[in-house]
Amino acid sequence: MATMVRAMTPDDFSWVIALNQQHVPAVSDAEGDRFTYLFERSAIALTAWVDDAPAGFSLTMTHGLDYDSSNYKWFSESYDQFIYLDRVVVDESFHRHGVGRALYAETERLGLIEVPDAEVFGLEVNVEPRNDVSLAFHERLGFTELLQRPTPYGIVVAMMGKPLMPQA
Ligand SMILES: CC(C)(COP(=O)(O)OP(=O)(O)OC[C@H]1O[C@@H](n2cnc3c(N)ncnc32)[C@H](O)[C@@H]1OP(=O)(O)O)[C@@H](O)C(=O)NCCC(=O)NCCS
């Protein structure tokens, strides 16, 4: 299987939003104008393709934004310079084929260009209710828990981070 990662464009919105909505509440709801709001704030918006079939996407932001997410605000209050992965989803047909890993490798490569002095590559994972697959994935990719915090939307998340370093 050949995996390719490309920049997301508005032409991708319909399948990306459908995939996002299939995975609520692992990721938050983002339809219509809300998705456009997120996309416009994402310095690194990627899609992944396996043998030319749409397979996944990710949205990543940098510090200094006007963004209403309490999780993003926590990173803003904790770090001066960072990249923040707002969401990642891989289609279930392609799980465990390295698609998520490919999206993160490209995010890190571009993140170092966008924010060369980033203190952290940050994100959150649900722990109540617990997203064991995402925790295993992120631990495998080198993320560690910074702390756990309750959110205004009623769940508990683990704030996770890793240093943003060039890939070997
Ligand atoms: C989390 C997610 C993005 C992982 O994507 P993926 O393409 O399947 O992950 P990869 O194939 O790149 O996995 C990389 C490594 O992570 C770990 N991993 C991934 N899925 C795992 C699972 N189900 N169980 C245990 N470890 C897992 C493995 O170590 C894997 O390497 P290996 O397959 O060589 O052992 C995907 O499961 C997903 O979209 N889940 C639904 C949405 C979601 O929860 N998003 C995250 C919200 S925080």
Residues 71-101 have pLDDT tens digits of: 999 999 999 999 999 999 999 999 999 999 9
| Average pLDDT over the chain, rounded to an integer | 96
Q: What are phi and psi of 165, to 5 degrees?
A: -130, 150
Give the residue, by CA position, lying nearest to ligand 1 atom 8. 95
Give the residue, by CA position, lying nearest to ligand 1 atom 41. 89
Above 70 in pLDDT, residue 167? Answer: no
Residues within 6 Å of ligand 1 by CB: 23, 26-27, 88-90, 95-101, 125, 131, 133-134, 136-137, 140
Above 60 in pLDDT, residue 168? Answer: no
What mean pLDDT do residues 122-150 have? 97
- 165 confidence band (pLDDT: 50, 70, 90): confident
| Residue 116 neighbours by CB under 8 Å, 6+ apart | none
> Using CA atoms, how far apart are residues 97 and 138, in angstroms rounded to an integer?
15
Counting residues of the chain whose pLDDT is more than 90, the rounded percentage is 95
- 4 confidence band (pLDDT: 50, 70, 90): very high
Report CA(48)–ligand 1 centroid distance (Å).
14
Which strands make up the sheet holding 120-128, listed edge to edge? 3-7, 44-50, 53-62, 82-90, 120-128, 156-162, 144-150
- 52 confidence band (pLDDT: 50, 70, 90): very high
What would the CATH number be for the domain defined by 3-123? Answer: 3.40.630.30
Report CA(141)–ligand 1 centroid distance (Å).
10
Above 60 in pLDDT, residue 55? Answer: yes
